[in-house]
Amino acid sequence: MEQRCPRIFLAPSYEQFLKDYLLPNKPVIIGPSLIASWPACRLWAREDGRINWEYLKAEYGHLSVTVADCSTREFSDQHRETMSFREVVSLWETGKGQTLYVKDWHLARTFLEASAENASYDAFYTTPDIFRDDWMNAYYSAHTEDDFRFVYVGAAGTFTPLHRDVYTSYSWSTNVCGRKRWWLFPPEQTPLLFRKGGEEHLETAFDVRDVDSAQYPLFHQASPIVIEQEAGETIFVPSGWYHQVENLTDCISINHNWCNSVNLPSLYGSMCAKVLEVERALEDVREMLEGNYQATSEPADPAADGWRVEWVAIVQDVVEKDAGWNWATFWKMVRHALCLAMDQPCTAEGRLWPQTPRELMPSLEFIDSRVRTCLEDFVRRPQRELDLVPGLEEVVANVRRLLVRE
């Protein structure tokens, strides 16, 4: 059955969005009414729709940004460096740097933190209600100095290579100015995207516009949804959908990666797969640790888990460095989300991420069932991270106590 991405003009209610798009995990493009109140829409764009570079330089030119060079590939990404935003814009204005793309700019967090000291800093956008149930940004805003809220600024022709968002998280992306082209691949087509013989390491094609059929022999069987996103439109990218994005014009967009109870089982499964991938890659390390233990331990040594503790610690460290999360982060995020949903005491910085109203999330029974499914599997994992990761047993015990009483 052919997949499509519907366009809807009016912003849906949360109940409609949950039923029609979140639960069935389907994409949608929503018209400008969803973000009509954003200050960015009138401040970042001129009346003719072109980008207001003078305003952007005056407001944000002094800030450092991460810039990807879309003409230079580095492994599965593009070469990146740090510059001031004013430097990048100046290059564009003189006809240079047309392959440069400002990515993953944490502009929202920068200004929210600054607003505590300077009341003149106003938010340039607000998260639409249908995306407020966001466990990732709620946890990261309260407990870390990081988040998953980004601004992207690029010239025509810049692009983001084919990828799937971190641990199959959702994303939403709004074009404040300019137009983009998206290629969206449903999860069932994922096996078609891998390099020949490389399924174990999940190496996909880099650029869907130029794929070597000898290296990716199944790619021609894939049938992506191809969408052109206009200025003011917002796209919802479902969990686990690989996608590639190209700027058709100079473009500015605001993007969030996010998750909640609806796609939690998918995130959990992706975490399990990532751990297995790292374990396979470090098999020689495991063999060395086990061998060293057998050579130095007494047969009845009570510290029989000695090498396993070190092994699990190494794996979790690599998982975190490679993808940003590990099991400790995952379960702390779940605990934080449950505290908020159950109106239990927790550390939450409302200025950085306002608490989500109960009516903008699924029922408590639904949330309970999703978390419980993951929890019951986790406690049975043969890797025994629950026992071997310091502090994790307490976090998981907290999660269990927060679940809806039967």
Q: What is the pLDDT of residue 233?
A: 98
User: Which amino acid is residue 369, in one-letter code?
Assistant: S
Domain 7-257 CATH class label: mainly beta
How much is the average pLDDT of 175-182?
98
Query: What global pTM score does this model have?
Result: 0.94
Is the pLDDT reported for residue 406 higher than 50? Answer: no
Measured CA to CA in angstroms, residue 121 lies from 48, 79, 112, 232, 366 at distances of 26, 32, 8, 23, 38
pLDDT band at 331 (very low <50, low <70, confident <90, very high): very high
Count of C-beta atoms within a 10 Å radius of residue 390:
9
Least confident of 62-66, 118-122, 354-358: 118-122
φ and ψ at 116, to 5 degrees? -65, -25
pLDDT digits 0-9 by tens, 83-136: 999 999 999 999 999 999 999 999 998 887 776 555 455 689 999 999 999 999
Q: What is the pLDDT of residue 116?
A: 58
Residue 250 CA to residue 48 CA, distance in Å, equals: 13
What are the residue boundaries of the structural domains of the chain, listed by start?
7-257, 264-402
Residue 40: helix, strand or coil by DSSP? helix
